[in-house]
Amino acid sequence: MSPTEFVSVYRAVRAQSLELTAHLSLEDMALQSMPDASPTKWHLAHTTWFFEVVALKKWHADYEGFNIAYAYLFNSYYEALGDRQPRPLRGILSRPALMDVLAYRERVDNALQDWLQKVSPSDWIQAQPLLVLGLHHEQQHQELIVTDMLHLLAQNPLLPTWSPPSIRRAQQSSVPLSSAPLAWLEHAGGVQMVGTNEQAGVFAFDNECPNHPVWIEPFAIANRLVNCGEYLTFMEDGGYERPEFWLSEGWARVQQDDWHAPLYWVSASDKRLDFCTETSQAQQGLASDWSVYGVHGLQTLQAHEAVTHLSFYEASAYAAWAGARLPTEFEWEVLAQAQQGAASSDSLQDLYGVAWQWTRSSYDPYPHFKPMTGEVAEYNGKFMVGQLVLRGSSAFTPLEPFAHTRATYRNFFPPAARWQCTGLRLAKDKSTL
Amino acid sequence: MSPTEFVSVYRAVRAQSLELTAHLSLEDMALQSMPDASPTKWHLAHTTWFFEVVALKKWHADYEGFNIAYAYLFNSYYEALGDRQPRPLRGILSRPALMDVLAYRERVDNALQDWLQKVSPSDWIQAQPLLVLGLHHEQQHQELIVTDMLHLLAQNPLLPTWSPPSIRRAQQSSVPLSSAPLAWLEHAGGVQMVGTNEQAGVFAFDNECPNHPVWIEPFAIANRLVNCGEYLTFMEDGGYERPEFWLSEGWARVQQDDWHAPLYWVSASDKRLDFCTETSQAQQGLASDWSVYGVHGLQTLQAHEAVTHLSFYEASAYAAWAGARLPTEFEWEVLAQAQQGAASSDSLQDLYGVAWQWTRSSYDPYPHFKPMTGEVAEYNGKFMVGQLVLRGSSAFTPLEPFAHTRATYRNFFPPAARWQCTGLRLAKDKSTL
Amino acid sequence: MSPTEFVSVYRAVRAQSLELTAHLSLEDMALQSMPDASPTKWHLAHTTWFFEVVALKKWHADYEGFNIAYAYLFNSYYEALGDRQPRPLRGILSRPALMDVLAYRERVDNALQDWLQKVSPSDWIQAQPLLVLGLHHEQQHQELIVTDMLHLLAQNPLLPTWSPPSIRRAQQSSVPLSSAPLAWLEHAGGVQMVGTNEQAGVFAFDNECPNHPVWIEPFAIANRLVNCGEYLTFMEDGGYERPEFWLSEGWARVQQDDWHAPLYWVSASDKRLDFCTETSQAQQGLASDWSVYGVHGLQTLQAHEAVTHLSFYEASAYAAWAGARLPTEFEWEVLAQAQQGAASSDSLQDLYGVAWQWTRSSYDPYPHFKPMTGEVAEYNGKFMVGQLVLRGSSAFTPLEPFAHTRATYRNFFPPAARWQCTGLRLAKDKSTL
Amino acid sequence: MSPTEFVSVYRAVRAQSLELTAHLSLEDMALQSMPDASPTKWHLAHTTWFFEVVALKKWHADYEGFNIAYAYLFNSYYEALGDRQPRPLRGILSRPALMDVLAYRERVDNALQDWLQKVSPSDWIQAQPLLVLGLHHEQQHQELIVTDMLHLLAQNPLLPTWSPPSIRRAQQSSVPLSSAPLAWLEHAGGVQMVGTNEQAGVFAFDNECPNHPVWIEPFAIANRLVNCGEYLTFMEDGGYERPEFWLSEGWARVQQDDWHAPLYWVSASDKRLDFCTETSQAQQGLASDWSVYGVHGLQTLQAHEAVTHLSFYEASAYAAWAGARLPTEFEWEVLAQAQQGAASSDSLQDLYGVAWQWTRSSYDPYPHFKPMTGEVAEYNGKFMVGQLVLRGSSAFTPLEPFAHTRATYRNFFPPAARWQCTGLRLAKDKSTL
């Protein structure tokens, strides 16, 4: 990619972040609903700070920092880059105002483009990987803007309708794939290559590298995600009252936090339904016992849609109830790789674009794993404990300019996390079919 | 007061609430810095809900509620009036937007004025006390808007300057009274009348009633508040390191929360000073080791100004260190009553308008105390445990249209509270002079 | 009191502490059930340390400390006397063993008696008040041994029967006074003297001093304590579900801790009843819906017995429900003083020896209050915030050699405390009778 | 194994549990130092309950339960077996007394042996695996008795010396292997078989099964454990102050809990050293800056001894500092397997009997993992999330009658756990040597 080509992609990514905020108010963008989530305003500033740190401050001789405090306010978790605003307190920052953050974005955008017009070839060679990383980083935060904002709005008793224009109605695909009959796709296992390597032109995060062999036992994997109707059956069969399906920590969480349905399911007796305007209720025709809250508001539960916003614990309990299990991350990956050339008749559905799929694999480093170096050394590696791998991508995952949908992509969250767009796909040992 | 006269005062009070927000952004007004504090937007809506509940819904036959959810969102603590948004979660409400809250205010203002144009004399007799209470209530929240916003801004590493136009620079009175030489005003004690009664034309909260005799021992009280210079001497003498001055719970708090100065004092080594713009630092001329943050920004500590934003524990420890004690609420009251006609030469200074003054009196009910009835029964009485009485008023207390500055006024906060504009005045037993 | 006389009383108090432990195992005496309670072993050591600190180390030239660590382990809360084992961690001390603590008691007892045989008159004059204080202190801890042990045993699903021989069956007095018809004793109020002064031969804690006038409004007080039958009626009338009776903090506690009866009431559906041996259940004849756990085990609720182990919040809510209020500490005191010479026909019953009686008075210092000096300066004064005064004494209060039953005695606990033997007596304004 | 042979082994295991308690007092055995640890008395009862549940209640027709409450008190975590005493509250059970627990053990021992004398062959076939499991279970708890008691005593400012006779002085092996020069043993990797299968005569827990192939990259592993001298160098090089070595959660823990050395290291400035008797200090010759507390009391740090009582976070940080990494559990296993027939010259030292060795492997289920069935289904599987695998065994691991020292054994603890006898062995990718 030449500097000029980069600028074009850069502009697209940066604009996409702002487009996401089209229907949001200053107030929406300033608030933080929980320590794990961040305000939209913070995301917009943090992604900007990233470019400032990895490029401008190093290579742009004349670059003058926008504000000395921003390095403190918008550093996320990079110990090597200095102190920072504590994560749980990102939501007490009414200043800088959004307008200031937008001005900061503009200053950095302009400075970066100025510099790229005159960058030396040798600097460009060094800078390019970091700048491309910055774009992938910003796309990751675009998904977080959606999930964090959805979580904030879901805490509001008014259950407001957001309807971000750039996010399709996640659960209303024209072809509701999760209603297809459940089928099992088999794989013979053996030594398989997984992961990827850094190559010119193909981006990958350090945690996906390197490409390496693993041994996989013969297995089968479901052709589609578990859907809401199936999950409702699990619930009606006492899923949340029967400890035999649950991991010990998951069961403790069910008790402690009184979980009895996926995060955004709203029961017909929920008092918040009184606060929705009559019009929207009529439109939604809340005939069912359950409705589901999402970025497009409250909708009657649709049995054929993929169940989402589940913790690993719930995914695992469902699988145990269903007499199956979750796939390992490598089972998922080798079948996803195999599907790339497969005929559509037996293909895996919903691999990407519906819901991140919990796997039964802890987020451990690959053999020969090497973290990135320099300012971005802390990007992925230091989180490799206590989390589970998710594969695929979700309805909130950006598709352009870089599709975050590749078979080797490793997403990861703690087992109790529910605010991401997470679902599950079943797997089985081949011998138990 | 006639309905017409009331409308005039009502408009003044309501306008005053909005004037306070002149320099605030939507973002400032939406955030909550801690469970004890509320967003400005919430205060604006809650005071409106109060009029809706105590008047419109009862007497205005045609009044149509603005939004069914607002009774849930903006009820503060009235159990009898239904469920409500939990206090610590007032700050996750990005909706309703401020614009919606302003429209709500306008709707209620209009409906109330419409109704008052045609109110029957008998309804007016019943409604007037509640409506007047509503105005005093709103003025109380005006002070809270200031203290809560100041607390929010103080959490911000940028230490922003607010400069609300309607609040004078609290610590920069033209006559810096707290620099007067400390003198002791004596009182002979004996049976004294304290408190007040409900009388036509003189407003008082239920917790100030009824007027009743108390026995007071001879005592002396300081002519002025403790100032920053004196408090700094206490600190330099190891005030925060010597348990002998502290109540047990206060000392525990010092350890636990690492208190070492009043809430808004900023030491010269505080990293936040780096984030202030150079200009303002130069203007402020931070020559001292300490500066003080307030609604007008950061200012060099002025030795002669009253020390503020202290907990009861700190006030009590200072008094012990100084070989004195805090006054009881009745000592304060009888001397304040006595001063009303006194010659200025020996008068008590700073009784009102500088800082609420911690007393050594727990907030217990008066003999024959009767809570108000009806919707407002929970206004004061149910908080009468675990709090301390403060007397006087502060620089943030509204003076108009009703001056919240009367000798019988009982303010109250828990002993660890520091975010109110609180200070102290010393007292002594007469025999120890 | 001469040194010889003192030794005789000293022996009696010290023996009494050990007698309390007659039916306890080493295991019982080592455990701690919550931060507010202490192991029996700790109480036995702490009271011994008290004599070591206030007398032996000061006046006994040859006294050799038993163990250098004990000053750390058994200092309760005296900041001036050095660091100490954190209160919540008193229960992780399996060492020193009880045997070591008993040896420590013996060493101190012997050393003290040795020294008293040869004490100079001038030393004796100085030491006597502190030594007498030590005895009262130890008697206070005798009551705590009972309440803390009862709390520990009550956490045990076996609900074991302790039956300490020196504690009468608290609620089974031969004359069940609390079944007398409720009557109101009136008092005309006015200026009354309360409190006491330090006088030769009459012991009082510093917090009861000095004697001073107070103004009291005319009032009436109930002739007896509220009994279990009455309290049950309150419960059956929704007492724990109706916020209108409760102080705000009390209601929050009811919700948070799921209070629905006094601390040691056991409902017929409680699973712990399965763990009681059949024999004892038969003996108890658990015919009622409720039984009450106490130092003599589980007993069927007796309607005429005083209700005990209530928080101030519950006492206050009951009084509100009953259309009455709690007495102030001075109302209680002046009527108790008045009763000392009164005819029995209209006398106040259960003043002492049944349950400490919550008053509506916060624990504030008296006018001219002066803490004790020296090592014991922290004895009472530093706790004078956030607590409520209780008057009277309980079934667990030692009667000998010093009766802790005097009209001026001020006990105090935080408003949520329930593990002490606390009950209530109603009062009313005279005008409302 | 015949029933008769079983009885012999059973007696040995049961006696071994009691032998561990030889130097403990009733008080030692009743206390609980933290939620993760249990009282010795509880361990003695729980292991007995296990035999009651898995055998006596099922097959012994005449067996009469010792106490109906014990199923509640001594069930550890088996949801299917009913409610239970909450884990953090095991330490408030002064009753049943140790004597009762010993009687319970005797009753169960006798009943089991009675039944085994007459057990039918078919019952024996079914019962044997569960009974053998019960013995391994009890041996696991023997190690926990040591680690839990050590943790309790370590909280005691007296730092008492326990000296359990059956535990060798862990760090004082006659051949201090950890002082050998560090050397790297290489392995060529490839497809390797790990895990084991259930076979007649060879015990394994379900989590070690089944035997299955894995692909392993070429690697090297250290010949010995990291020793105290090496770890001290890490500390002196700022190990606990430099975030670059730490996983993110580990670094947070270092800050939050103020970690600055392994759990039981005691610095020369520690005030607890004052409480040790002079004699023992003299004997120990505390010449060094650090001493180490253990079951045999306080000893001067010995540089050549293995460092123990480390969290996974610390082990991982040390490895990063040392330019190495932790081995995966399979690297450890294949090399341990390979060593079984190897010549001693290049053998892995300290594989067993010194310290459990943290691996870089999360505790995930093996392919085809099947939990045990029936009462013991919850034994291992439900804990397979959020924990790390440890391999080897420790100085506290029983060697007889069953050696818990096999290459396939998977121990597991959360990454912050420090109270187990845990250490580390370094590994490297072969390519980086």
pLDDT along chain A (433 residues), means of 10: 96 97 97 98 98 92 90 95 96 97 97 96 95 97 98 97 80 54 94 89 92 97 96 98 98 98 96 73 60 94 95 98 98 92 70 96 97 93 97 94 90 98 96 61
- D 372-401: CB under 8 A from A: 377-378, 382-386, 388
Distance separating alpha carbons of residues C259 and C253, to the nearest angstrom: 8
For chain D, the average pLDDT equals: 92
Quote the minimal CA–CA distance from B163 to chain A in Å.
Answer: 15
Which candidate in C245, C362, C372, C430 is best for mutational testing of the B interface (most B CBs within 10 A)?
Answer: C362
Whether residue C92 contacts residue D31, with contact meaning beta carbons closer than 8 Å, is answered with yes
What residues contact D25, with CB distance under 8 A and at least 6 apart? C26, C94, C95, C97
Backbone φ, ψ for residue D379 (5° rounding): -55, -50
Backbone φ, ψ for residue D25 (5° rounding): -90, 165
| Residue in B215, B368, B382 nearest the CB of C215 | B215
Count chain C–chain D contacts defined by CB atoms under 8 A: 95
Q: Give the tens place of pLDDT for each residue, C365-409.
A: 999 999 999 999 999 999 999 999 999 999 999 988 898 889 999
Whether residue B271 contacts residue A83, with contact meaning beta carbons closer than 8 Å, is answered with yes
| Residue in A83, A98, A274 nearest the CB of B27 | A98
Average pLDDT over residues B381-391: 97
Q: How confident is the model at residue C172 (pLDDT cuts 50, 70, 90)?
A: very low
pLDDT at C72: 96
D vs C contact (3+ beta-carbon pairs below 8 A)? yes
Of the candidates C353, C336, C348, the residue with the CA atom closest to the CA atom of residue C394: C353
| C39: contact with D, CB 8 A cutoff | no
pLDDT at A175: 47
Which residues in chain A are contacts of B157 at CB distance < 8 A?
A: 69, 72-73, 85
pLDDT at C339: 81
| DSSP codes of every residue in D83-128 | ----GGGGGG---S-HHHHHHHHHHHHHHHHHHHHS--HHHHHHHH
Chains that touch B (3 or more CB pairs under 8 A): A, C
Q: Give the tens place of pLDDT for each residue, D347-382.
A: 889 999 999 999 999 999 999 999 999 999 999 999
Q: How is residue D17 written in tokens? A: 């549990």
pLDDT at A202: 84
| Peptide bond preceding B39 in cis form (omega within 30 of 0) | no
Which candidate in D76, D362, D410, D430 is best for mutational testing of the A interface (most A CBs within 10 A)?
Answer: D362
Neighbours of D2 (CB within 10 A): 10
Q: State yes or no: pLDDT of D241 exceeds 80.
A: yes
Distance separating alpha carbons of residues B286 and B15, to the nearest angstrom: 37
Partners of A428 in the beta sheet?
A220
Which candidate in A248, A372, A373 is best for mutational testing of the D interface (most D CBs within 10 A)?
Answer: A248
Partners of A354 in the beta sheet?
A394
Distance separating alpha carbons of residues B418 and B421, to the nearest angstrom: 8
The DSSP symbol for B294 reads E
| B365: contact with C, CB 8 A cutoff | yes
- Do C97 and D25 count as a contact with CB atoms less than 8 A apart? yes
Distance separating alpha carbons of residues B365 and B384, to the nearest angstrom: 7
In terms of average pLDDT, the best of A341-345, C221-225, D167-171 is C221-225
| DSSP codes of every residue in A23-56 | T--HHHHH--SSTT---HHHHHHHHHHHHIIIII
Q: Give the tens place of pLDDT for each residue, B288-313.
A: 689 999 999 999 999 999 999 999 99
Whether residue C166 contacts residue C25, with contact meaning beta carbons closer than 8 Å, is answered with no
Of the candidates D369, D425, D368, D330, the residue with the CA atom closest to the CA atom of residue A367: D330
Backbone φ, ψ for residue B116 (5° rounding): -70, -25
- C 159-218: CB under 8 A from B: 191, 212-215, 217
pLDDT at D173: 44
Sequence letter at residue D200: A
Average pLDDT over residues C315-343: 92
Of the candidates B391, B362, B331, the residue with the CA atom closest to the CA atom of residue C362: B362
Radius of gyration of chain B (CA): 22
- Do A31 and B30 count as a contact with CB atoms less than 8 A apart? yes
Buried b (16+ CB within 10 A) or exposed e, D131-146: bbbbbbbbbbbbbbbb
Residue given tokens 């060492």 in the structure block: C95
Q: State yes or no: pLDDT of C285 exceeds 70.
A: no
Distance separating alpha carbons of residues A119 and A106, to the nearest angstrom: 19
Sequence letter at residue A307: V
For chain C, the average pLDDT equals: 92
pLDDT at D344: 54
Q: How confident is the model at residue D341 (pLDDT cuts 50, 70, 90)?
A: low
Instruction: Report H helices in B199-243.
Output: 228-236
> By mean pLDDT, which of A236-250, B176-190, B396-410, D309-323 is the weakest?
B176-190
Which candidate in D94, D274, D278, D419 is best for mutational testing of the C interface (most C CBs within 10 A)?
Answer: D94
Question: Over pLDDT 90: what percentage of chain B?
Answer: 84
pLDDT at C110: 96
Q: Give the tens place of pLDDT for each residue, C1-31.
A: 899 999 999 999 999 999 999 999 999 999 9
Q: How confident is the model at residue C60 (pLDDT cuts 50, 70, 90)?
A: confident
Distance separating alpha carbons of residues C47 and C138, to the nearest angstrom: 6
Count chain A–chain D contacts defined by CB atoms under 8 A: 90
Of the candidates B48, B88, B84, the residue with the CA atom closest to the CA atom of residue B66: B48
Residue of chain B whose Cα is closest to the Cα of C428: B368
Query: Count of residues for chain C?
Result: 433
Q: How confident is the model at residue D202 (pLDDT cuts 50, 70, 90)?
A: confident
Residue given tokens 């599950």 in the structure block: A424
pLDDT at C340: 75
Q: State yes or no: pLDDT of D176 exceeds 90.
A: no
Q: To which H or E segment does residue D377 belong?
A: none
pLDDT at B276: 74
Of the candidates A92, A2, A108, A94, the residue with the CA atom closest to the CA atom of residue A46: A108
| B250: contact with C, CB 8 A cutoff | yes
D vs B contact (3+ beta-carbon pairs below 8 A)? no
- Do D27 and C97 count as a contact with CB atoms less than 8 A apart? yes
| Residue in D31, D83, D89 nearest the CB of C92 | D31
Which residues in chain A are contacts of D313 at CB distance < 8 A?
A: 385
Residue scoring higher pLDDT (A116 or B283): A116
Whether residue A85 contacts residue A72, with contact meaning beta carbons closer than 8 Å, is answered with yes
Radius of gyration of chain A (CA): 22
Q: How is residue B360 written in tokens? A: 């050594």
Quote the minimal CA–CA distance from B203 to chain C in Å.
Answer: 24
Sequence letter at residue D43: H
| Peptide bond preceding A210 in cis form (omega within 30 of 0) | yes
Number of H helices, E strands in chain A: 12, 12
Of the candidates C138, C62, C398, the residue with the CA atom closest to the CA atom of residue C130: C138
| D95: contact with C, CB 8 A cutoff | yes
Q: How many angstroms separate the most distant Cα atoms in chain B?
A: 66
pLDDT at C171: 47
Buried b (16+ CB within 10 A) or exposed e, B249-275: bbbebbeeeebebbbbbbeeebebeeb
Residue of chain D whose Cα is closest to the Cα of A324: D368
pLDDT at D171: 47
Whether residue C119 contacts residue C63, with contact meaning beta carbons closer than 8 Å, is answered with no
Q: How confident is the model at residue B34 (pLDDT cuts 50, 70, 90)?
A: very high
Whether residue B388 contacts residue B415, with contact meaning beta carbons closer than 8 Å, is answered with yes
Residue of chain D whose Cα is closest to the Cα of A312: D385
Query: In terms of C-beta distances under 8 Å and separation of at least 24 residues, what long-range contacts does A269-272 make, across chains too?
Result: A271/A157, A271/B83, A272/A157, A272/A158, A272/A159
SS3 B92: helix
- Do A364 and D368 count as a contact with CB atoms less than 8 A apart? no
Which residues in chain D are contacts of C27 at CB distance < 8 A?
A: 26-27, 30, 41, 94-95, 97-98
- Do B157 and A91 count as a contact with CB atoms less than 8 A apart? no
For chain B, the average pLDDT equals: 92
Dihedral sign computed on CA atoms, order B82, B83, B89, B93: negative
Quote ipTM for the complex: 0.94
Q: To which H or E segment does residue D184 belong?
A: strand D184-187
Order of all β-strands in the sheet with A219-222: A184-187, A219-222, A427-429
| C338: contact with B, CB 8 A cutoff | no
Average pLDDT over residues D118-144: 96
Quote the minimal CA–CA distance from D212 to chain A in Å.
Answer: 8
Average pLDDT over residues C288-307: 93
Of the candidates D66, D68, D63, D70, the residue with the CA atom closest to the CA atom of residue D119: D63
The DSSP symbol for B47 reads H
pLDDT at C222: 96
Dihedral sign computed on CA atoms, order C343, C344, C348, C351: positive
Instruction: Report H helices in D176-270.
Output: 228-236, 248-257
> By mean pLDDT, which of A6-10, A366-370, B399-403, C146-150 is the weakest?
B399-403
| Residue in A27, A155, A275 nearest the CB of B27 | A27
Residue given tokens 């170096």 in the structure block: A373
Which candidate in A78, A212, A215, A379 is best for mutational testing of the D interface (most D CBs within 10 A)?
Answer: A215
Whether residue D250 contacts residue D313, with contact meaning beta carbons closer than 8 Å, is answered with yes
Question: Over pLDDT 70: what percentage of chain D?
Answer: 93
Cα separation of the two ends of chain A: 48
- Do A95 and B274 count as a contact with CB atoms less than 8 A apart? no
pLDDT at A282: 45
- Do D156 and C31 count as a contact with CB atoms less than 8 A apart? no
Residue given tokens 């009766």 in the structure block: C403
Average pLDDT over residues B328-352: 84
Q: State yes or no: pLDDT of B104 exceeds 60.
A: yes
